[in-house]
Amino acid sequence: MNVSVPAVMITAPASGQGKSMVTAALARLHRNAGRKVRVFKHGPDYLDPMMLEVASGHPVYQLHPWMTGEHECRWRLAEAAQDADLILIEGAMGLFDGDPSSADLAKLLGIPALPVIDAGGMAQTFGALVLGLASFDPELSLYQVIANKIGSPRHGDMLKEGLPEGISLLGAIPRHDAMSIPDRHLGLVQASELNNLDQQLDQAADVLKAAGLEVLPKAVSIPAAEPANPDALLAGVRIAIARDLAFSFIYRANTELLEAMGAELHYFSPLTDAQLPPADALWLPGGYPELHGGTLANNTAMAESIRGFYNVGKPILAECGGLMACAEELSDKEGTVHLLFGLVPGRAAMAKRLQGLGMHSLTTELGELRGHTFHRSTLDTSWQPAAYTHKQAGTGGEAVFWRRGLVASYFHGYFPSAPTLVAAIFRGKPELFAGREGLRQCDT
């Protein structure tokens, strides 16, 4: 049975147009009006969903036809539509950028695109840009647009007057301090680091309300879809998960899958805790260990606890920042070298430019784990990789290291894409890389 609910894809002609903050402010605006707002994020992003959860007050999940799969995109949207008053999906990059693009996702789900365009320094060209976005793909629905960072009310009127027929201006947002949020080398500053985020979101919501953006988008029909029910492959397995300011890149769908497979999750902080909680397996997710190298190095009790866990051969998954922390040394962006967990010989070092970016997959006999890579550091180690990921577009797979129970890589995996493989990782099964010619555990 189909459900009808207002829904829209917040997108832009390019990155840097302000769509993240506009999406968050829209969510808070309608939440403050008493509506239940569900927000999703297109693509493999950890940081935007943190802010969007604070803005909406509800969980935020990733939607990506390749990484999460088309069926999961449909059932997550259908699940949200059961009781939501509004559904917002924040796009990634430009509207037609990437494969699949935000436009592809909008068409898959049957929802319209709502571009946010930085109109600073622009007048009639605004209309030409909107016309191009609206006509580039006839299968894409686009009937409204948002002008961002206008200079004056008259500026907004000019933009409205220049729009092509059939497309209206939802609102023109003036420049305002509440509409900006700090970022760093991997994206937005984490929501938990912003002390006044709730107050800022309320202010941003007021800015949007004054600009006329409180009007709901058109309702769309969302067809029903059933979620997958994974087997209890991790029944009774206790997994310790690092979660603090240094280790925070965790898909909500990943932890929910682990629980659905029967795992018991126990969170801890490598920054402040002295030892690991009782556990059968350990997950060190990505994050910002390079910003907290001194604190991690000084917490020698935790480092010893993690080394002890590794030395007895228990399963460990270390992703990106987790891999960096597992190295003997970590050189931060100032060049200061910190002694870290010491599971992987060698040094992780911050670089001046991006070292890895894109969608990747790891294929084994137990399934194809899909995900992405995005890092500004390098790893110099004597270990030889047990495998390499495959980059969806282009060349340059990420090394995957396997030693005892440790699986470590710059690759971030989306667990629901390969539940059997994920279960094998956390159970430390030797058949993890079975059937792949020439693979073996890393040399000591």
One-character DSSP codes across 173-205: EEP-GGG---EETTEEPPGGG-TTHHHHHHHHH
pLDDT along the chain (444 residues), means of 10: 94 95 97 98 90 96 97 97 97 96 98 97 95 97 97 95 96 92 63 79 96 96 92 97 96 98 98 98 96 96 98 97 97 94 96 86 92 92 93 89 93 97 89 53 54
How deeply is 196 buried, as exposed, middle or buried, from its count of CB atoms within 10 A (0-12, 13-18, 19+)? Answer: exposed
The structure's pTM equals: 0.94
222 Cβ contact list (under 8 Å, min separation 6) = 2, 3, 4, 5, 7, 77, 78, 81, 87, 109, 110
**CATH architecture for residues 3-222:** 3-Layer(aba) Sandwich (3.40)
Tens digit of each residue's pLDDT (9 = 90 or more) over 324-347: 999 999 999 999 999 999 999 999
Helix (H) or strand (E) segment spanning residue 373: strand 367-375
Pick the CATH number of 238-433 from 3.40.50.880, 3.40.30.10, 3.40.50.620, 1.10.3720.10: 3.40.50.880
Domain with CATH 3.40.50.880 in the chain: 238-433
Give the model's pLDDT for residue 409: 96
Give the model's pLDDT for residue 372: 95
Give the model's pLDDT for residue 45: 87
Structure tokens at 331: 């050189």
- What is the C-alpha separation between 18 and 254, in angstroms, rounded? 28
Furthest C-alpha separation in the chain: 70
Contact 127, 158 (CB under 8 A): no
Mode of pairing for the β-strands spanning 187-188 and 183-184: antiparallel
Contact 307, 332 (CB under 8 A): no
Give the model's pLDDT for residue 355: 84
Give the model's pLDDT for residue 375: 85
Give the model's pLDDT for residue 291: 93
Domain with CATH 3.40.50.300 in the chain: 3-222
Helix (H) or strand (E) segment spanning residue 378: strand 377-380
- What is the C-alpha separation between 10 and 20, in angstroms, rounded? 8
Torsion of CA 245, 375, 59, 210, to 10 degrees: 90
Q: Give the CA distances from residue 184 to residues 63, 94, 187, 376, 436, in Å, rounded to whole numbers and listed in that order.
A: 24, 20, 5, 12, 38
Give the model's pLDDT for residue 437: 44
Of the candidates 143, 156, 120, 322, which has an alpha carbon nearest to the alpha carbon of residue 241?
A: 322
Structure tokens at 379: 């790893």
Q: Is 73 a catalytic residue?
A: no
Q: Give the CA distances from residue 202 to residues 56, 198, 207, 209, 404, in Å, rounded to whole numbers and listed in that order.
A: 11, 6, 9, 10, 50
Single out the catalytic residue among 73, 320, 326, 442.
Answer: 320
Q: Which residues pair with 89 in a beta bridge?
A: 9, 40
